[in-house]
Structure 1
Amino acid sequence: MDASARLGPGPVRDAVRRAQQRAREGAVAPEEVPDTAVALLPRTAGGLRPVINATGVLLHTNLGRAPLSAAARQAVQEAAGPTDVELDLETGVRARRGRSALGALRDRVPSAGAAHVVNNGAAALVLAATALAAGREIVISRGEMVEIGDGFRLPDLLVSTGARLREVGTTNRTSTADYADAIGPQTAFVLKVHPSNFRITGFTRAAEVGELSGLGVPVVVDIGSGLLAPHPLLPEEPDADSQLRSGATLVTASGDKLLGGPQCGLLLGEEGLVRTLARHPLARALRVDKLTLAALEATLTGPDTPTAEALAADPAELTRRAARLAAALSDAGADVRAVPSAATVGGGGAPGVTLPSAALSLPEHYAARLRTGPVPVVGRLESGRCLLDLRSVPAGDDERLAAAVRSAAEG
């Protein structure tokens, strides 16, 4: 396909100018300018570059968190044109937006009376606070007043909705009695927040949802990481279904973390309450587009996501993969060896949990070369070596990873 038709004239002109400049500098011969320009063309008209995540952090925020499954990617492509997102094709009249995606979400969380989706996890909590607590109080433990990343703090987020915070307990210990003493006529709801990116150990106490559900006010639980049901490898990570069964009125979560889907915010809970939130004026400003709905539904109904596969990866097979790659790359002249490694969930999920893994260990200077290569590879630096952890690399990317290492070795 003609590059101008695929990318637009601007990127093509830029590639030609850069190739010509390299010829002026003597980096390439004049007759090599056309091939150099072709090599400099971007893959797409967008500015984002696909990378291989070899950090060992399965949900790396700087790399876009959960990679979508092949089913979700195909669903996005199919939804890119006109779709029936708000049209019932049988009757020809307007229909509820994203109804099949919402149905799939409810099917995955049987204890939820209804579900709603907004554009990210923080937006889910903002919608709940705005609709339920503007001008009223939210009761929350001091130990759960967290910072959610990039300087954004939960207290600031909640106060911006017009709600007032009633802090109870201490940083390390908050009892059910602390909540009960604070509840009054101005209480809109009790908020439980999973401190998903840190752990407090030692002399600690936190009230459980089941204890709080009997206090006579709604209990909203922000589980953060988007786990819909219990996971055997993550026994301490709260999930939506269990929290609702324990008595939570509403659960909020992110879709692009342990669920393995696109960026979105999930609201699950009592039918009447969720319907109220979905009809609030702010819900319109926070709604998701058809591409997100398509990716979410395919994530919920399709095969295992890359995140689920990475969590379930067999450490012995990771070790065999590392050994095979290291042997092949050593034969090609790279300074590489296979080593044991420890991966993490990341993305604000399962703090303190490590997953046994295996990695390729390379000299430190490989890190920059790999990041800036034709196929960018992002690893991590540890003890003066560049580690490429295979738990976060799908097995199908092994050859691309090897090619990137060979290119870095030659550079």
Structure 2
Amino acid sequence: MRNFYEVNGNVFFKIEKYMNEWENFIGIYDKNGQEKKGAAQSLGSHVQKLWKNFNEDRSQLDKHYMETAIGLQAYISSFLLPNIERVFSLLVRDENIFALESQLVTEKDELIITDFGCGPLSGSVAILTLIEYILSQNSKLVAPKKIYIYAIDRSEKVVEVGSKFIKNSLISESSIFIERVTSPAKILKKSDIALCINVFNEIPEKHRLKTLKSIYDMSNEGALLLIMEPGQEEHAKALGTLRDHLIETATDCEIISPCAHKKLCPLAQNTARKDWCWFRHAWNPPVSLNLIDKFSKIDHHELNFSYLFLQKNKIRSAENYFARCVSDEFPLDLKGNKAQFDYFTNNLSSGEKEEFIEMAQYEGGLQKILLCTQSGALESAFVIADPEQKEYRRGRRIKEDSELYMRAKERI
């Protein structure tokens, strides 16, 4: 399943209706379905300004941008669907979906979702879509009788819009209940799934751990916690640091992904490395979002993010793996570069050196990737430049018996 909006919901939530609600709200088509070019151009201009404030100059970002009609419309038009797809695409992967299934093994009167910094409830929509997808794929799983969502956000207006989209897309009116609260301290029911989507980067660093810990503590045994942040250096490294602090202080906190270990993050804020832990997802944005992108000059075909997916007292274990690839492939030009060749082959046996030379002479040469391993260390590895070697792309898990052509002898 590549795109969230292709899921056919038939238990709680009709995704097709949700998409219609979204299109009606952004208002770039008339009642006959014809494009309103002026409206789309104007909206695209506001989206472009909002995007620049998010990504280039946060000091210019109005904290109350979603309290204005045009600010809210701009955000909903360009950011809502990609945020839903980020969460959906991540959790639907084999390594993560088992955790969602663990919430549906036995019937529950209520499935409690805590959506912190929810905005228009993009994270909750992704979970609702995932539940519909999972139930359609596995007849042995049991739908909860009701889904209860704590929508935690200071903006009443944006929660109202997001809630309206959901309520107008329900299959049964009494199946999903949404309650807006302004703080995690006001949660009264322990959660089964807690979401923190693109929110900690907007909170002062000194308050992040305390806030996260309060959300974690108000969760049931076996509860899931997803933190997702922009895939940018500052925010990804800050998430690595927050991860380390939570693991040190939280009871029974187990990492489902992306980490292959629970040791200190080798790419957190206190490390000297310029690398950071982030991932990407390619999808097919719907036609209306492509139109907004055309006028805002933003490309949403590839979505970047950093994340941490946890479970309290992990119920089922994912497949063990040796490492995760945390870099793109980049070329090593060893032909004619004796110093670099000597550096990489210094500790190799004669047989390994011959293999290395043979690899280096292969058409396209060698590529280098960075692995985050079970030991908590970063390790370089070499692969032949071959586009068919999908196993080694950023974000992929690497099994211990994987046919890596050769791992570097030095630790980075």
Q: What TM-score do the two structures reach when normalised by structure 1? A: 0.28
Which of structures 1 and 2 has the bigger CA Rg?
1
TM-score, length of structure 2 as denominator length: 0.28
- Relative contact order higher in (CA < 8 Å, ≥ 6 apart): 1
